[in-house]
Amino acid sequence: MTDRIVLTGLRARGRHGVYEFERATGQDFVVDVVLELDLAEAARFDDVTRTVHYGELADRLVAVVAGEPVNLIETLAERLAAVCLAEARVVVATVTVHKPGAPIPHDFADVAVTVTRRRPPGAAG
C-alpha cells in the first residue's frame, strides 16, 4: 500500500497515567496517525465519501483521548488504532501517542509509544 493519510500533532487533554495526580489534574497528549489505504477511487471521483474524512476521524480520536482513563499510553494507542481501523477503507493504521508532560524526573523532550495495526485479510471494517 503506497497511499497514506497523515494526521500529526492532534492535541487533546486526557487523564491517563498510573499515578493518581495524573488522573486528577490531567495533561495534554499529542497523537500522530498514519493511515494506509487506497486513495485512487477518492481521487478519481473527487469524493470525500470514498476516503477517510480526517476531520471526523480527529473528532473520534479526541473523544478517546478525553474519555475513559487508562494507565498506559500503550493502551491508549491501541484504542486509537482500533478507531482508525473502524474506517472500512483503512488497511494499516500507525498511531503514535506522545506524552510530553510525563512524570519523568529528568529533562526530556518527549516520550511516545507507536503501534501499527493491520486489518486481517478478508476482514471488513
Catalytic positions: 99
E strand spans, the chain: 4-14, 27-36, 92-98, 112-118
Alpha-carbon distance 83 to 64, whole Å? 9
User: Helices 54-66 and 73-85 sit at what angle, rounded to 10 degrees?
Assistant: 150
The three grid cell numbers given for residue 86, joined into one nine-digit string: 473502524
